[in-house]
Amino acid sequence: MPTLGRSGLRVSAAALGTMNFGTDPQAPTSETEAHRIIAAFLDAGHNLIDTADIYRGGTSEEVVGRAIAARRADVVLATKAAGPQGSGPNHRGLSRAHLTRALDASLRRLGTDYIDLYQCHLPDPDTPADETMATLDGFVRAGKVRYLGCSNFTAAGIVTAQWAAQRGHGTPFVSLQANYSVMARAIEAEILPTCREQGLGVLAYSPLGSGVLAGRYRRDTPPQPGSRLAQWADMPGPTARSFVAGLLATRHFDIADEVAAVADDLRTTTATVALSWLARRPSITSVILGPRTTAQLTAGLAGLAFDLPEPASARLTTASQFTVVPPTNGQHHATSV
């Protein structure tokens, strides 16, 4: 197993994402099935399980905690904080007030006295990085947390946090969770080089482009009622609808068609091709799978293990290539070609 960033923590190349797990009737995966998935994942020799305090109103953490109770020492348990945990102004973000409350709540829901990898789920522009990193370092010194990570941070945000940890002689981040797939490669421009420089391993989420790369959606066709993207599009406010529209962009379907063509040539599935391409990208420590069923887990693990021929991989890399636009505001950014 690879080590996670500039640390000695060994994690599996496959990680289990648990956003679908919960106890509410609307949860895609029941607790019984979640327990089966977790047992199958661990039995297959993998160890990194990722959740968050906002998944299913915290019930994802509860389900995970009960499922791993008898095998806690075999699990690298990761969770995240920053999202809203109440209506008050101090019930979200990366302040000392919120993180302290959030960590204690996660430990209680998970039924454990420590978390292996505690991650900042989102950046918080209103809280100084020095406050956040000093708070997180305190968790490590208290034995409640072993390692620290972040999610959805920019390259600048990563550097700012690492410098804050260094100034305070504290604990730095060792990982970043980022959206990365053959159709979402913008992190290659600045974020992946920054992770290498700053000693962060990369955990790639949404490896199938929220289902677009698995063939679950069709070009110029609204998402089917009940599908994940249909549910997101129905959320209040314009942000979710804009996000869904971006996922269903013509360029993404062009890439999905190329993935499907490669899959046909190799007589395998589109998901297998997309996962295999991603698992072999430089700087990727682990790919996060988000199965709803044990069958989906089995297929996902097989996809990560599939040996995608180099010509096929190069074909997809070319088809999904992006370029770096010259800076207009003091920063570079990535775009498609």
> Which secondary-structure segment (H or E) carries 328?
none
Tell me if 123 is assigned to some domain. Answer: yes
Tell me if 219 is assigned to some domain. Answer: no
**Residue 169: other Cβ atoms inside 10 A:** 8
Domain that holds residue 59: 14-211+278-306
8 Å CB contact between 180 and 157: no
List Cα–Cα distances, 280 to 145, 274, 285, in angstroms.
Answer: 30, 10, 9
Q: Do the strands 333-336 and 14-17 form a parallel or antiparallel pair, or are they unpaired?
A: unpaired
What are residue 10's DSSP bridge partners? 3
DSSP three-state, residue 79: strand
Tell me if 267 is assigned to some domain. Answer: no
User: Tens digit of pLDDT for each residue in 202-243?
Assistant: 999 999 987 888 877 666 666 566 666 656 555 666 666 666
CATH of the domain at 286: 3.20.20.100
pLDDT band per the 50, 70, 90 thresholds, residue 252: confident
Instruction: Report d(CA 301, CA 280) in Å as an integer.
Output: 14
Tell me if 244 is assigned to some domain. Answer: no
User: Tens digit of pLDDT for each residue in 276-323?
Assistant: 999 999 889 999 999 999 999 999 999 999 999 999 999 999 999 976
pLDDT of 215:
77
For the question of residue 205 being annotated catalytic, the response is no
Tell me if 320 is assigned to some domain. Answer: no
Tokens of 76: 């690298």
Residue 51 half-sphere exposure toward CB, CA atoms < 13 A: 32
Give how many domains the chain has, as a whole number.
Answer: 1
User: Tens digit of pLDDT for each residue in 163-174?
Assistant: 999 999 999 999
Predicted TM-score (pTM) above 0.75 = yes
Summarize the confidence of residues 74-94 as an average pLDDT: 95
User: Tens digit of pLDDT for each residue in 26-45?
Assistant: 899 999 999 999 999 999 99
Instruction: Report d(CA 194, CA 19) in Å as an integer.
Output: 27
Tokens of 220: 């110029």
Tell me if 269 is assigned to some domain. Answer: no
Tell me if 265 is assigned to some domain. Answer: no
List Cα–Cα distances, 10 to 1, 47, 91, 201, 275, in angstroms.
Answer: 6, 9, 33, 11, 21
Tell me if 315 is assigned to some domain. Answer: no
